[in-house]
Amino acid sequence: EWPHDYQFLFIEPPANEVAEALDGWKWIGLDGLEPAAVSAFGDIFFRAGDGSVRHLDMLDGKLTRIAGHWAEFQADLQNEARRDELLLAGLVVAARK
């Protein structure tokens, strides 16, 4: 689902591991959200019932609406600054060296 150039910014853990990781985050308001992607640093991106995309920042402990729909989120990732903001892309690249 990701362009080849961005696949390294995401991981694909088993669904049960994602569910376990989210178990302690129910207080933040995850009802109606479907996990859709996990960043290399473990942040989780969700699709909401209204089609919007939410980002659970595991370090800051914040759940934020980041896009009106999935295609908008994917388009945002074309912007280097936005990739760094949402996916810590610069750190991922540095860690891979």
pTM: 0.87
Q: Where are the domains of the chain?
A: 4-90
Q: How confident is the model at residue 30 (pLDDT cuts 50, 70, 90)?
A: very high
Q: What is the pLDDT of residues 48-81, one digit of tens each?
A: 999 999 999 988 899 999 999 999 999 998 888 8
Location of structure tokens 């903001």: 85
CB 5 within 8 A of CB 15: no
